[in-house]
């Protein structure tokens, strides 16, 4: 017999042989006598639906039905029903079967007594005592296995978190009496000793060790708490020095009740260069070019430079950052700043240096410093100049339920700056600014956003102040419907000069109609003015489309200038966070 003839016979045999395996068809199953979440759990617990559909012999069918009964019963027991009766019915539908399971769940088992014992060094430890107080099952409650297991998992998680590495649950019993439908719970937790931090091993290749130790919030002999390591990780991460941060308790190397900790840090590239071009309705076409040296030396000093060029504003900034005692929230920033603003009416050039300490305490951000600058202004063909030695101070605070897209939150900031004639300065002035934002949740996904600004400057010769220290309103982030900084006093020649005072308020309502996209309606009011001339508020109102993006909120707003005679419309496009 030839080889080809054998292969042909083999191929025909394989083609004619029926495929062995389970049908992909799923049996139709109905469970009666229970409803709601209990029915959902019982249905989901049946894993033999395909086997039921595929069973052909009475023996196979009986075996699969008994398996389904067991699985339904297990789902009922998890929810406290230990004496349920389940009657299966196999219904003929031609060559196929459907199945109905009639459930008489009976009365649930309820908790009789609960005994929770914690022994060892952790007997009086606050977190373990809180666990006992919050234990989810109490006398009279229905015995729910998942609540019991979740409580044990939470106890073990707390033990690992706080360094009770030798702890164990020596007794975990649920004694069920079906004659009384009562369950007695007994748990004995042996805490063992709480471990402490041992040697802290720092593995990195550049920075001074004593500098990096300023980030530490742990020391040898201190009680172990995994939250400490998470805080330390965030501190290193916020420095922007490192591309990889690994913090590990070395449990295999523990000595007595001490655990060594390994800290492995890998540096980022030292330099970063960036550029960008964009457009805003306030400033027009805008481009920027900059560089950042993340670390200039082993003490973690930081340098950055930025060139910002727009149609109406050009600026250069150089910053040198010196970390202080707590480098993660306390820094001295030395800066050089040059700006040249060339509006249609007022041209203002500022050249200066400043030293500012910036530090954080909890939710509070503080800063104070000294700003030494010269200002040169040109208005209506006339020039004025001044030299200023200006101390400044600021404070801000914010709270939010979500950093990027808060449903509820607020922000408040205050800044003051001033100079005194004769102390280097050619003119005295004192200025205060206040800004705030409040976000309130409404209905299921909507938000109400309230914003406000106040400003006041005390000065004898207003003409010497640079544009940065004059108040204006109007624009994307002010009274919408009006062009950027177009709301302010005019002089006798019809030139816009700015004011010594500012007031602004905004009410905005957002309705999220699809995922991260919201329709908005808003009303803005405000103006810049001279305090002695009274307030003439300008109003704007409109609608917008807002989209939450990973890096901020994109806002496309169309606003009407209600206080202008012809009530023109204006488009405002911004990309910024809410707070």
Domains and CATH numbers, the chain: 22-104 (3.10.20.310), 110-190 (3.10.20.310), 196-267 (3.10.20.310), 342-576 (2.40.160.50)
| CA atoms within a 13 Å half-sphere pointing along the CA-CB vector of 456 | 4
Mean pLDDT of 345-358: 93
Alpha helices in 174-216 (DSSP H): 209-212
Mean pLDDT of 358-369: 93
Give, for 357, the enclosing helix (H) or strand (E).
strand 346-361
Query: What crossing angle do the helices spanning 58-78 and 36-45 adopt, rounded to 10°?
Result: 140
Interval 136-165: pLDDT, tens? 999 999 999 889 999 999 999 999 999 999
The SS3 of residue 161 is: helix
Confidence class for position 554, pLDDT limits 50, 70, 90: very high
Interval 234-256: pLDDT, tens? 999 999 999 999 999 999 999 99
Please give the pLDDT value at position 94. 61
Range name among 11-25, 43-57, 427-441, 457-471 with the lowest pLDDT average: 11-25
Residue 327 above 90 pLDDT? yes
385 neighbors 376 (Cβ within 8 angstroms): yes
DSSP string, 358-408: EEEETTEEEEEEEEEEEEEEEETTEEEEEEEEEEEEEEEEEEESSSSS-SS
Range name among 93-97, 127-131, 172-176 with the lowest pLDDT average: 93-97
Angle at 24 between CA 18 and CA 27, to 5 degrees: 120
Distance CA 225, CA 4 (A): 74
Interval 198-214: pLDDT, tens? 999 999 999 999 999 99
Confidence class for position 578, pLDDT limits 50, 70, 90: confident
Distance CA 46, CA 65 (A): 10
Query: Considering only CA atoms, which of 71, 60, 140, 136 is closest in space to residue 101?
Result: 71
**The tokens 């975990």 sit on which residue?**
172
Q: Within 10 Å of residue 274's Cβ, how many Cβ atoms? A: 10
431 neighbors 469 (Cβ within 8 angstroms): yes
303's CB contacts (< 8 A; 6+ apart) are 292, 293, 296, 318, 319, 320, 321
Q: pLDDT: is 334 or 16 the higher one?
A: 334
Query: Considering only CA atoms, which of 62, 60, 90, 86 is closest in space to residue 74?
Result: 86
Mean pLDDT of 174-190: 94
Distances (CA, A) of 472 to 45, 349, 424, 478, 502: 67, 17, 28, 9, 7
Strands 382-400 and 242-249, how do they pair?
A: unpaired
Residue 3 above 80 pLDDT? no
Query: Considering only CA atoms, which of 564, 560, 514, 565 is closest in space to residue 541?
Result: 560
Interval 270-307: pLDDT, tens? 999 999 887 777 777 789 999 999 999 999 999 999 99
- Here the tokens at position 519 are 């329709």
Interval 494-548: pLDDT, tens? 899 999 999 999 999 999 999 899 999 999 999 999 998 889 999 999 999 999 9
**The tokens 């369950």 sit on which residue?**
183
Displacement of CA 152 from its chain's centroid (Å)? 30
Give, for 7, the enclosing helix (H) or strand (E).
helix 3-16
Beta bridge partners of 350: 339, 375
Q: Within 10 Å of residue 207's Cβ, how many Cβ atoms? A: 19
Beta bridge partners of 527: 503
Highest average pLDDT, of 91-105, 342-356, 382-396, comes from 382-396
Phi then psi for residue 277, to 5 deg, are -140, 145
Confidence class for position 404, pLDDT limits 50, 70, 90: confident
93's CB contacts (< 8 A; 6+ apart) are none
The SS3 of residue 237 is: helix
Residue 196 above 90 pLDDT? yes
Distance CA 549, CA 553 (A): 6
Confidence class for position 29, pLDDT limits 50, 70, 90: confident
Interval 446-472: pLDDT, tens? 999 999 999 999 999 998 999 889 999
Write down the mean pLDDT value for the chain: 90
Mean pLDDT of 219-233: 95
Please give the pLDDT value at position 4. 52
- Here the tokens at position 549 are 């993006």
Give, for 61, the enclosing helix (H) or strand (E).
helix 58-78
């Amino acid at each position: 017999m030839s080889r080809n003839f054998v292969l042909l016979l083999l191929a025909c045999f394989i083609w004619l042989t029926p495929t062995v395996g389970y049908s992909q068809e799923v049996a139709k199953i109905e469970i009666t006598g229970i409803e709601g979440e209990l029915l959902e759990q019982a249905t989901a617990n049946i894993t033999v639906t395909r086997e039921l559909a595929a069973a052909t012999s009475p023996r196979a069918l009986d075996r699969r039905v008994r398996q389904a009964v067991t699985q339904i019963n297990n789902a009922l027991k998890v929810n406290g029903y230990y004496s349920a009766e389940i009657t299966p019915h196999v219904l003929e539908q031609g060559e196929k079967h459907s199945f109905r399971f009639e459930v008489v769940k009976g009365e649930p088992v309820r908790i009789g007594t609960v005994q929770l014992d914690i022994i060892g060094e952790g007997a009086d430890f606050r977190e373990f005592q809180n666990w006992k107080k919050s234990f989810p099952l109490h006398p009279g409650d229905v015995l729910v296995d998942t609540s019991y297991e979740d409580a044990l998992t939470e106890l073990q998680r707390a033990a690992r978190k706080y360094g009770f590495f030798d702890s164990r649950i020596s007794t975990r019993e649920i004694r069920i009496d079906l004659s009384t439908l009562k369950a007695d719970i007994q748990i004995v937790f042996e805490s063992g000793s709480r471990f402490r931090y041992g040697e802290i091993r720092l593995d990195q290749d550049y920075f001074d060790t004593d500098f990096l130790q300023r980030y530490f919030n742990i020391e040898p002999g201190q009680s172990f708490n995994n939250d400490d390591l998470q805080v330390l990780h965030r501190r290193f991460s916020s420095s922007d020095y490192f591309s990889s941060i690994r913090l590990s308790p070395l449990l295999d190397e523990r000595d007595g009740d001490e655990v060594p900790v390994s800290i492995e840090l890998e540096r980022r590239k030292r330099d970063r260069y960036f550029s960008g071009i964009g457009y805003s309705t306030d400033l027009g076409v805008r481009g920027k070019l900059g560089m950042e040296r993340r670390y200039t030396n082993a003490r973690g000093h930081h340098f950055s430079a930025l060139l910002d060029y727009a149609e109406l504003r050009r600026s250069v900034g150089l910053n040198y950052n010196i970390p202080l005692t707590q480098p993660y929230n306390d820094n001295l920033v030395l800066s050089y700043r040059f700006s040249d603003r060339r509006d249609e009416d007022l041209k203002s050039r500022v050249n200066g240096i400043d030293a500012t300490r910036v530090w954080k305490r909890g939710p509070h951000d503080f800063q104070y410093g000294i700003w030494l600058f010269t200002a040169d202004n040109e208005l209506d063909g006339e020039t004025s100049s001044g030299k200023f030695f200006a101390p400044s101070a600021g404070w801000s605070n914010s709270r939010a339920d979500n950093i990027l897209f808060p449903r509820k939150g607020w922000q408040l900031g205050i800044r003051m700056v001033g100079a005194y004639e004769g102390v280097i300065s050619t003119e005295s002035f004192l200025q205060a600014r206040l800004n705030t934002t409040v976000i309130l949740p409404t209905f299921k996904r909507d938000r109400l956003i309230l914003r406000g600004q106040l400003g006041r400057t005390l000065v004898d010769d207003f003409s010497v102040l640079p544009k940065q220290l004059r108040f204006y309103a109007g624009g994307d982030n002010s009274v919408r419907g009006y062009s950027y900084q177009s709301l302010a006093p005019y002089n006798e020649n019809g030139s816009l000069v700015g004011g010594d005072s500012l007031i602004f308020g905004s009410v905005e309502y957002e309705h999220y109609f699809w995922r991260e996209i919201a329709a908005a309606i808003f009303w803005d009011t405000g103006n810049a003015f001279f305090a002695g001339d009274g307030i003439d508020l300008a109003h704007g109102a409109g609608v917008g489309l807002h989209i939450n993006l990973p890096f901020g909120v994109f806002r496309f707003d169309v606003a009407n200038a209600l206080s202008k005679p012809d009530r023109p419309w204006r488009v405002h496009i911004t990309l910024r966070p809410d707070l």
